[in-house]
Amino acid sequence: MESTSQATVGHAVFETVIGFMGIAWSEAGLTRLCLPQRNRDAVERRLLHHAGIAASSARPQWVTELIASIQAYAAGEDVDFSGVPVDLTGVDDFRLAIYDAARKLAFGETTTYGELARRAGHAGLARETGAALGANPVPLVIPCHRILAAGGKIGGFSAPGGSTTKEKMLAMEGVRVGPPPPAQVSFGF
């Protein structure tokens, strides 16, 4: 059995307009966030796969508010998750710096892995930054979907659905990734 210093107090699976999502929390903050899946059982399995996640009927007020905020985000609203308490017990200093820099990105704001590494004080470590984001336990709250590969390419995404999910999340925030749409020929430009 894996040991963890992070004592998870509870978890919740809930429905949004884009699918079922789930969160787990400790007394210190959010410990896990599962992005949309088609059914409740798939999210429950993903959450319970992690050591220490327990059932609890008691939800702190911030958890109730976070669920409402996630549902609003899924419905297309501009939501700021920067104030959500996050419990990153056991995460190394490099990842903490990367996650902190990523949390400063606003709704609809993107950057590259290389630029995020620079902002976090680790210039030149774009690949390691990508790996750190791939291990992000709380996507959306730590908005790893807002980090792109060099040249504006979508880059990888470790959540279910991969880069397609990342592209959909960015589109919900008004960000278009990929080649520009064809020029409008009626104006003769």
pLDDT band, residue 189 (cuts 50/70/90): very low
Residue tagged active-site, from 67, 117, 141, 144: 144
User: Is 144 a catalytic site residue?
Assistant: yes
Among 18, 19, 21, 40, smallest CA distance to 32 is for 21
Backbone angles phi, psi at 163, to 5 degrees: -65, -20
Q: Give, to the nearest 10 degrees, the angle between helix 126-134 and helix 93-103.
A: 80
Indicate the range of 27-41, 48-62, 93-107 predicted with least confidence: 48-62
Residue 43: Cβ within 10 Å count: 25
Percent of the chain past pLDDT 90, that is, above it, reads: 68
Its pTM stands at: 0.86
List of residues 6+ apart from 49 with CB closer than 8 A: none
- Average confidence (pLDDT) over 4-23: 82
pLDDT tens-digit readout, 128-150: 999 999 999 999 999 999 999 98
Could you tell me which residues are beta bridge partners of residue 147?
A: 111
Residue 174 CA to residue 164 CA, distance in Å, equals: 15
Among 28, 67, 25, smallest CA distance to 47 is for 25
- Helix residue spans in the chain (DSSP H): 40-48, 61-74, 93-103, 113-119, 126-134, 162-172
